[in-house]
Amino acid sequence: MDYIGEICPVCQKSFTDDDDIVVCPDCGTPHHRECYKMENRCANAALHGTGEKWKRSKPKENMYKVCPVCRFPNRAVDENCQRCGSVLTDEMTSDPFERREENNGQAQDPFGAYGREELFDPLKYLGYDPEEDMGGATLKDVSDFVGPSTVYYIPKFKQMKESGVRPTFNVFSLIFPSLFFANRKMWGWAILAAILGIIFNLPANLLLYIEEYPSDIAGFITENKSLIQTMNDVFMIADMGVRALFCLFANWIYFRFAMRSLKKLKRNGAQSTRIKSVGGVKPMNMVYIILIKYGIGIFAVMALYMLFTMLITINDFSTLCLW
């Protein structure tokens, strides 16, 4: 609870953001910690046993208006509900941190099933119903799984859910496809994109680093430079085509990945905290995929070198047999 601006009953000074405040467990009276230690008791000990509680001297500002139709917590300045459009009045304001005592003394959250977490951002779901079924999981589950960039993904996911496969534009997956998939924890797609990138850039790398290769390989590349250059042109076009596909369908791939993961999590009874930990982003994965990509690249170069050496050996052996 916010005690800023209230008066300490011992020193009669207002509480500030920097104060260390303790609250009496019996009557709820706030004190400065030092003041409480000095008195060694609650300043309102007379209230104990009477059932009375400490009351605010400073009226609280209402932060939200609860829609009477859909129970969505709107901002205090809103005149219409962000979700359903119903008219809101000042009488609908509520304290998002206050819990009401109802149903035989059981504490009730004033916003019901939506919980306190969503109250920090009443526009978190962009006016959509957080309980809407997205195909095996609610929109709230999808939002928890996506984590960052929810505002970007939720409208696209809703369109995909309603109309099926839908091309959209994802710039990150166009420029760095393997990094995009790794950051979103889609390792299968990340490794596939890394392998394709290595293959498509192989002819260009052969031509670029020709001076660093052993003389026999450098000579082979020089002799077949025209063929390798043609392969490079073809592979560049193929690389651009694959990147374009990733750009247009990366969001769809992510949507299907999110829904498959959520269905599995929901079957196992996972709660919001678990969903958030499994989903979201992990930037460190981008470092891992770069290391994996370089590892695959080194392995590919070594494999090519061994293949070339083997072919040279076979050729030399054939020449000796002819003699």
Cα gap 244→171, rounded to integer Å: 10
Position 215 in a domain:
yes
Q: How far apart are the first and last CA of the chain?
A: 96
| Same domain, residue pair 102 and 212 | no
N residues, the chain? 323
| Same domain, residue pair 285 and 245 | yes
- What CATH number does residue 22 fall under? 3.30.40
Q: How does pLDDT run across 114-134, given as a tens digit for each residue?
A: 444 444 444 566 777 788 888
Cα gap 76→69, rounded to integer Å: 16
DSSP secondary structure string for all residues of 33-51? HHHHHHHTS-TTGGGTTTT
pLDDT of residue 99: 42
Q: Examine the fold and report which residue of 9, 38, 59 is the final residue of a domain before the chain moves on.
A: 59
> How far is Cα of residue 233 from the mean position of the Cα atoms in its chain?
38
Q: How many domains does the chain have?
A: 3
Position 285 in a domain:
yes
Q: How does pLDDT run across 7-37, given as a tens digit for each residue?
A: 899 998 888 878 888 998 888 899 999 999 9
Q: Examine the fold and report which residue of 59, 84, 99 is the final residue of a domain before the chain moves on.
A: 59
Q: How does pLDDT run across 208-251, given as a tens digit for each residue?
A: 776 666 676 677 778 778 888 898 899 999 999 999 999 999 99
| Same domain, residue pair 81 and 205 | no
| Same domain, residue pair 149 and 293 | yes
Q: Examine the fold and report which residue of 120, 147, 166 is the final residue of a domain before the chain moves on.
A: 120
Position 213 in a domain:
yes
| Beta bridge partner(s), residue 106 | 102
| Same domain, residue pair 22 and 157 | no
How does residue 321 score in pLDDT terms, banded at 50, 70 and 90? low
| Same domain, residue pair 305 and 290 | yes
Find the domain containing 51 and state its range. 1-59
| Same domain, residue pair 146 and 219 | yes
Sign of CA dihedral 164, 169, 173, 174: positive
Cα gap 39→8, rounded to integer Å: 12
Query: Helix %, strand %, coil % for the chain, to 5?
Result: 55, 10, 35
pLDDT of residue 58: 56
Position 130 in a domain:
no
| Same domain, residue pair 170 and 280 | yes
Position 126 in a domain:
no
| Same domain, residue pair 192 and 290 | yes
How does residue 296 score in pLDDT terms, banded at 50, 70 and 90? confident
Cα gap 241→68, rounded to integer Å: 52
| Same domain, residue pair 104 and 248 | no
How does residue 62 score in pLDDT terms, banded at 50, 70 and 90? low
| Same domain, residue pair 179 and 206 | yes
| Same domain, residue pair 84 and 55 | no
Question: Model pTM?
Answer: 0.60
